[in-house]
Amino acid sequence: MSRSLQRHLSRTLALSIVLAGLIAATTSFIVAYVEAEDLQDDTLREVAALTEAGILDTKAAAAQRTNTTNGSVDEFVSRLLVLRLPQDVGPVWLPADLRPGFHTLSSGSERMRVFVRELRGGDRLVVAQGTDLRDEIALDSALYTLVPLLLALPVLILLTTQIVRRELARVRQLAETLDRQSPEQPQPLPEVEVPEEVGAFVHAINRLFARINHLLEQQRRFIADAAHELRSPLTALSIQAENLEKAPTAQAMRERIVPLRAGIERARRLSEQLLSLARTRAGTEDVEVDVSRLARELLAEYVPYAEQRGIDLGLDATAGAIVSASPETLRLVLKNALDNAVNYTGEQGQITIRLAVEGEDAVIEVVDTGPGIPPEERARVFEPFYRVDGATGIGSGLGLAIAQDAATRLGGTVSLHDRPSGPGLVFRYQQRRLVSKDGSR
């Protein structure tokens, strides 16, 4: 099932904002609560200091001694209790030996926050306040700090959703542009104002479109060339058939049958190569292929053709190897190389299939004593339907193109080289091997 990136981002960011807001609110609440408690402790300390300095009147505290002596704190929940000991009589919940500083005392369910200050002469000043009031004040102060955060959370969530939707709108526009593309010739996507995170994806799509357009152009050119190449032999066959009908004698008829057969063979060969190229591009499953065995099978297949032309066909297997390949595709590579070698090697010539191992690669070479190919033409002969000027034989210029296409699909490479000794050409195919003949890697 597909997942909406916009919904996922919005939901994730909203949850993150809520979580962060709760953490911030909790922290702010705790800090504000503690600060409020500290502020009230500071108030008790300041009241004690002012009382000691005589700024605050303690007569009210003296007037409350009767209630204080009874030990009730209800009268002091909403106000401060200031005592000067030992002159004043403390409540029953106030220990006589309480040390200077802050203390929290309890009397039943009641709690009092007490500050004791020691005066000169041994007297002690006690300032007390009920904790219920303190807690209520601290809680109110802390809650006020939560209001802005709680109000900001929905606003932040809404803003985040809108920002995500706006930023991803460019992606939706790119998708709509892709939907409007023509399959015959896709155009590159605009790269202006593209988010950086999507930019690499857009660049990759544009590079893919460039390769697709290149392949489509190659395919169009190939179809046009194939149509032209097929039309030529078929037209020639039609003319030769008409000439055969007009032959005045049996001898003339036999003479005109020879070019007719040659034309039929050329058309058959071209059709076979086109079908081979189509099968190669369709692709098949790779298996382990014994290169030596394949070479011997091809050698046996081409021996009759070589003998017919007086060519010495041999095998030089200095080392064998196993490669991962489609047997049909690998056979097609070597078959086209052998076709060219047999077709262009003259009588009494030599063709050798050479097998070798170079490092981690298996190497298959088809060495002939034909006229060869000039170095400046070796790159172009791999183009479909290209033939070297002055080339003889019934070839159509597809063999090497098919061999290179098949080699590329196998993950191998093909190249052409001069024959080491004397005239001729070396067709070289190289591919990573799996296991050598002796079983070593």
Q: How does pLDDT run across 98-123, given as a tens digit for each residue? A: 788 888 887 667 778 888 888 877 77
Q: Is residue 298 domain-shared with residue 382, that is, in the same domain?
A: yes
Domain finish residue from 282, 303, 324: 282
- The three-point CA angle 205-211-214 to 5° equals 140
- The three-point CA angle 308-314-317 to 5° equals 160
pLDDT at 355: 92
Domain finish residue from 229, 264, 282: 282
Domain of residue 425, CATH code: 3.30.565.10
Q: Is residue 132 domain-shared with residue 220, that is, in the same domain?
A: no
290 in a structural domain: yes
428 in a structural domain: yes
pLDDT at 76: 37
- The secondary structure of 39-51 as a DSSP string is HHHHHHHHHHHHH
pLDDT at 428: 93
CB 412 within 8 A of CB 289: no
pLDDT at 145: 73
383: helix, strand or coil: coil
Residue 350 tokens read as: 């030599």
Q: With CA atoms as reference, report the closest residue to 145 among 29, 24, 27, 21.
A: 29
What gap in Å lies between CA 111 and CA 131, rounded to an integer? 6
- The secondary structure of 130-156 as a DSSP string is EHHHHHHHHHHHHHHHHHHHHHHHHHH
Q: Is residue 256 domain-shared with residue 308, that is, in the same domain?
A: no
Q: What is the pLDDT of residues 393-406, one digit of tens each?
A: 555 667 788 788 88
Beta strands at 425-436 and 361-368: parallel, antiparallel or unpaired? antiparallel
pLDDT at 194: 72
Q: Which residue matches tokens 């195919």?
A: 429
Q: Is residue 144 domain-shared with residue 233, that is, in the same domain?
A: no
The residue segments making up the domain with residue 298 are 286-436
Q: Is residue 130 domain-shared with residue 191, that is, in the same domain?
A: no
- DSSP H or E run through 53: none
Contacts 24+ apart (CB under 8 A), 38-41: 40/113, 40/129, 40/134, 40/137, 40/138, 41/102, 41/113, 41/115
Q: Is residue 93 domain-shared with residue 204, that is, in the same domain?
A: no
pLDDT at 395: 59
CB 373 within 8 A of CB 425: yes
**pTM, two decimal places:** 0.48
Residue 430 tokens read as: 């190289």
pLDDT at 436: 44
176 in a structural domain: no
- The secondary structure of 324-379 as a DSSP string is EE-HHHHHHHHHHHHHHHHHHS-TT-EEEEEEEEETTEEEEEEEE-S----GGGTT
Residue 144 tokens read as: 């006020």
pLDDT at 363: 92
Residue 16 tokens read as: 């993150």
* Phi, psi angles (nearest 5°) of residue 315: -130, 130
Q: Is residue 67 domain-shared with residue 126, that is, in the same domain?
A: yes
Q: Extract the residue ranges of the chain whose pLDDT is less than 70.
A: 1-6, 54-79, 107-108, 133, 197, 218, 222, 224-230, 232-233, 273, 276-285, 389-397, 435-441
Q: Is residue 199 domain-shared with residue 317, that is, in the same domain?
A: no
Q: What is the pLDDT of residues 163-218, one digit of tens each?
A: 777 777 777 777 788 888 777 778 888 777 777 767 788 888 888 888 888 877 76
Please give the tally of structural domains in the chain. 3
pLDDT at 426: 93
175 in a structural domain: no
